Amino acid sequence: MVKDKGIEKKEMLYEGKAKQVYITEDASKVIVYFKDDATAFNGKKKSQIEGKGKVNNHLSSLLYTYLEEKGVKTHFIQRLSDREMLVKAVTIIPLEIIVRNVAAGSMTRQLGVEEGTVLKKPIVEYSLKKDELGDPFVNEDHIIALEWATEEELKKIRSEALIINKLLIELFSKAGLRLIDFKLEFGVNKDGVLLADEISPDTCRLWETQTGRVMDKDRFRKDMGQVSEHYEEVLERVSKVLAV
């Protein structure tokens, strides 16, 4: 039991692939601990990216603070340490919300669209968060009919995802980065739907605007090398933009 900025970290509630979640003395708050563990291809590729947990915690904290200032409701309360973040406890809606601005990754293979194709408008995709099923792609009808979210929640999630997309595109572009696509998770607490989880180079595709250089988890997926260096560069660039 570590007292950390006055918050007592108690038992681990659950451990995911990249983070651990701990309960605190306050049932409405949990502590998220960011690990260096990296996985890809539905868990088939596993490794560590040194310092990743630290970068993702710092960057997520910056981004959630920025989004909150712009009116987006998030789970973020405060960063507690290099790897720990205090957040509002939520019931995670079991969906991965993917927003795409440019075709890349699985979409190019599945739909025969060339990587780098700029989409006429952002695409919102939903995957059921269920590792055993390989996070299958679902649509809004499945979500409502199978009761993974209510119609009201889904409407909110979709509109928030599109607003977040605009805000992040703007921010990253000032940092010389193109936001190709990203994944969000939302949760529900007594106040309604909140943006939860993290936003980091683990959950975004970011290409350097000038050169197209890959600055995200694809460096790990595709064994491109210098993974942590690129994660750190993203953090530095965003920090600089937000410090102004």
Total interface residues for ligand ADP by CB under 6 A: 16
Give me the helices (H) in 19-177, please: 52-69, 106-111, 140-145, 151-174
CB of 205 to a second copy, least distance (A): 16
How far apart are alpha carbons 78 and 63 in whole angstroms?
12
Q: Is 19 in the site for ligand ADP (CB under 6 A)?
A: yes
Taking residues 136 to 175 in sequence order and writing x for each that binds ligand ADP by CB under 6 A, - otherwise, the string is ----------------------------------------
**Which of 7, 9, 18, 227: binder of ligand ADP (CB under 6 A)?**
18
How far apart are alpha carbons 135 and 107 in whole angstroms?
14
- E strand or H helix that includes residue 125: strand 118-128
Residues that bind a second copy (CB under 8 A): 110-113, 119-126, 128, 130, 132-133, 136-142, 144-147
> Using CB under 6 A, which of the segments 2-10, 12-20, 148-156, 166-174 binds ligand ADP?
12-20
How many C-beta neighbours within 10 Å does residue 153 have? 18
Q: Is 197 in the site for ligand ADP (CB under 6 A)?
A: yes
Residue 19 interacts with which of ligand ADP, a second copy, none, CB < 5 to 8 Å by class: ligand ADP
Q: Which of 235, 237, 215, 201 has the alpha carbon at shortest distance from 18?
A: 201
Tokens of 195: 């943006």
57-86 binders of ligand ADP (CB under 6 A) = 75
Residue 12 interacts with which of ligand ADP, a second copy, none, CB < 5 to 8 Å by class: none
Between 74 and 228, name the residue whose CB sits nearer to ligand ADP.
74
Q: From residue 235, how far is each of 8, 22, 81, 219, 239 by CA, in Å?
A: 28, 25, 16, 16, 6
Q: What are the phi and psi torsion angles at 173 (to 5°)?
A: -65, -35
**Which of 185, 216, 218, 233: binder of ligand ADP (CB under 6 A)?**
185
Tell me the CB-side half-sphere exposure of residue 239, using CA atoms within 13 A.
Answer: 12
Query: Which residues in this chain contact ligand ADP in the complex, by CB under 6 A?
Result: 16-19, 21, 30, 75, 87-90, 92, 185, 187, 196-197
